[in-house]
Chains A and B, each alone.
Chain A
């Protein structure tokens, strides 16, 4: 094992700073804006995108084969909770499967919006197995252009 090469001798402060960076990185990962509750591989974690389109956030979640009535949406403290169950309604019996790649079960995803959204104005639609949630920013969070009068 080789020792890391340091520029001008050993700097304990630098070492500490690196440690701090490392701790910060860990925390920022743990507090990432998007989280899921999957603990094990093979659990259902529907993939999602978060984009900002001007004065609103748009969240899109892939939920193929999930029924509209099996999706539950709620918002609390600027966090969006997407929960539901993906059921396999099929006439297939055990032992008749040739391939089983689709994953079923319950899921939960949480999205924390960086800027405050208006919970009253959040809307959602479900098309072709994609859930699209539109969350407009609160009035006070919207970027404003202020014209400065030139005298």
Chain B
């Protein structure tokens, strides 16, 4: 645990807004990140994005999740009320060295992308047997 905290206040921390600002306007979907024993779970809400339109990329320690939801383009459709955002969903995270970047698992279900990131061996909690 200590190792994770030292390197980064968060195992998975987000990149600064400065880098995001230069890109065309994107949707920042809500994210929940938590730790479970030997792994870290990242849940990202991306409703209406087809599974094959989701991209998860890892470049060095930068993990990017992106997806595209296309707007209503049919001219025969009359829009009466619109609240849902359209465009590119994107979030970028910086992974701490306490995570094993070769072990990232992604599952998309009910509009939520769930990433499971394994902790590196050194960062895993070790059980210590108490001698009798």
- Residues in chain A within 8 A of chain B (CB atoms): 33-34, 47-54, 57, 60, 62-67, 88, 90-92, 96-103, 111, 114, 128-130
Contact = CB atoms under 8 A, between A and B. Distances in A.
Nearest to B41: A92
Contacts of B10: 98-99
B34 A129 contact: no
Given A97-B34, A100-B32, A101-B30, A65 B81 contact: no
Given A62-B47, A64-B45, A128-B50, A48 B110 contact: no
B61 to A, nearest CB: 16
A65 B84 contact: no
Nearest to B80: A50
B92 interface: no
Given A64-B111, A92-B41, A128-B47, A52 B80 contact: yes
A58 B106 CA distance: 31
Contacts of A99: 10, 12, 31-33
Interface string B21-39: 0000000001111111000
B111 A129 contact: yes
* Among B31, B36, B45, B49, residue most surrounded by chain A Cβ atoms (within 10 Å): B45
A128 B68 CA distance: 13
A48 B49 CA distance: 15
Looking at chain A's contact residues, the main secondary structure is loop
Interface of B: 10-12, 30-36, 40-41, 43, 45-51, 72, 74, 76-85, 108, 110-112
Contacts of B41: 90, 92
B84 A48 contact: yes
Q: Which of B36, B41, B48, B49 has the most CB of A within 10 A?
A: B48
B112 A64 contact: yes
A83 to B, nearest CB: 17
A63 B80 contact: no
A129 B112 contact: yes
A97 B80 contact: no
A130 B111 CA distance: 7
B34 A62 contact: no
Contacts of A33: 80-81
B30 A98 contact: no
Contacts of A50: 79-82
